[in-house]
Amino acid sequence: MDRHSALNNKVSRIAVMARLVLSLLLLFGCQNSRCLSSTEAQKEAAANDNSTVFTRILDGLLDGYDNRLRPGLGENVTEIKTNIFVTSFGPVSDTEMEYTIDVFFRQSWKDERLCFKGPMEMLPLNNLLASNIWTPDTFFLNGKKSIAHNMTTPNKLLRLKDDGTLLYTMRLTISAECPMQLEDFPMDAHACPLKFGSYAYPVSEVVYTWTQGAAKSVVVAEDGSRLNQYHLIGQNAGTEDIHTSRGQYTVMMAHFYLKRKIGYFVIQTYMPCFMTVILSQVSFWLNRESVPARTVFGVTTVLTMTTLSISARNSLPKVAYATAMDWFIAVCYAFVFSALIEFATVNYFTKRSWAWDGKKALEAQHPKKRDPMVLSKKPNNVCSAGVNYTPNLTKDVSISTISNTTSVQLRASETKMVDPKKTYNSVSKIDKMSRIVFPVLFGTFNLVYWATYLNREPVVKGVTST
């Protein structure tokens, strides 16, 4: 009985201790949950306080703010700092003389009316505030068409510092003019400008400057080139002042330097012209009597050069001067046309020689046949005049011998007079000279042409190359 009672006492003690531990755990968990809920509540309260503070700050900044007036009106000049990041460049249109560029256009200025004091030094704002404050009236002087991207929302960024400095960024796609001088086409280089400035404010009110200097304020992305016919070899930036009837204005300029790729034109124009000229010179190696073949060579090559010259001009604007490709095509056309004139000259002199040599050939092929009996009777008549004729066998044998000898001589003379080599299949001296003169002149022209244009430094008028 004592053992049984002792066992019951131990079980009751363990149960009491378990209840005590469970109650302690429950109490500790409740305290932790209360602490967590209180921390979250404090954070939410702080966030609400910040939102309330910023709302009050913005409401206070815009209270009495007139966005029609520029900062510092009547006191100082407003300075607009700008820079450009080019995300894609191209394509470039030669016929329209324009190019397309996609940029992040950044502007920064200080508006003391927007100074504030708060828990943050910079306020990240959306584009809705931009319509309520003063912004620069920047426009692109040489822009033909500009697009501000609005998908899915307007691609604009606005940042406001506590000292009133604003950063305003927009994503733009601009189609701008690119004046081109095509004298060296297709070995030409161009500088495509991008000009912008204030539309209404002269330098006495608004001045534009580069944010990080002219050398670092225009940046092109490494994979930003979208050009098939050009290499983007560099860019630079600068500033100039222009004078109008309304005053002096600041114009910011960024130049993008392009060098044309020549591979396409070598394949499509230069090689066909080169092969056409060589084909026209093959006719010099044909016999001058091959009139149909040489006529086909001459006329076909002339028509081919005409087609090539027309197709080469389709990708260019209608300029009033000759390009480097035009000079090459013109010289090739001159060689092809000269080959046709050379054949006409050879054919003219060949016809005259046929009229002379052909008559001789006909006489040689059809000589006047002499009667061998006349030749055999003539000695007999001579003999009968002085001596009475008596039949003599020896005389008959001698007469027949003379007759045979005479016929052999006539046949030999006929064979000697008919010489086809001197009449047909002959080579003209003009063809022999042309086989050497034409290739040498064409090769010399190519050496001078390519050495002149390939070794020439790209010259961009009005701009110093970098």
Over residues 325-358, the pLDDT tens digits come to 999 999 999 999 999 999 999 888 876 554 444 4
Q: Alpha-carbon distance 466 to 399, whole Å?
A: 107
Q: How many CA atoms lie within 13 A of 14 on its CB side?
A: 6
In the chain, the amino acid numbered 442 is F
Lowest-confidence region among 35-44, 182-191, 420-429: 35-44
Report pTM: 0.72
What per-residue string of b and e applies to 71-90 under the rule 16 or more CB within 10 Å gives b? bbeeeeebebbbbbbbebbb
**End-to-end CA separation in angstroms for the chain:** 111
CA separation (Å) from 76 to 40, 67, 109, 168, 247?
Answer: 49, 17, 13, 21, 17
- Structure confidence by residue, pLDDT tens digits, 20-46: 666 665 555 545 444 434 555 555 555
Q: Give Cα 336 to chain centroid, integer Å.
A: 29
- Structure confidence by residue, pLDDT tens digits, 194-239: 999 999 999 999 999 999 988 899 999 988 888 889 999 999 999 9
- What is the chain's length? 466
Q: Alpha-carbon distance 85 to 221, whole Å?
A: 7
Q: Which stretch, 282-286, 422-426, 435-439, has highest mean pLDDT?
A: 435-439
Comparison of pLDDT for 364 and 279, the residue scoring more: 279
- Per-residue model confidence (pLDDT) at position 19: 66
Contact (CB, 8 A) for 178 and 193 = yes
pLDDT band at 51 (very low <50, low <70, confident <90, very high): confident
- Per-residue model confidence (pLDDT) at position 28: 53
Q: Alpha-carbon distance 113 to 58, whole Å?
A: 12
Mean pLDDT of the chain: 80
Task: Reply yes or no on whether the pLDDT at 401 is more than 50.
Answer: no
Cis peptide before 154 (omega within 30 of 0): no
Comparison of pLDDT for 291 and 108, the residue scoring more: 108
- Per-residue model confidence (pLDDT) at position 52: 79
- Per-residue model confidence (pLDDT) at position 93: 93
Task: Reply yes or no on whether the pLDDT at 372 is more than 80.
Answer: no
Torsion of the alpha carbons at 34, 40, 46 and 51, rounded to the nearest 10: -140
- Per-residue model confidence (pLDDT) at position 386: 44
Q: Alpha-carbon distance 350 to 427, whole Å?
A: 10
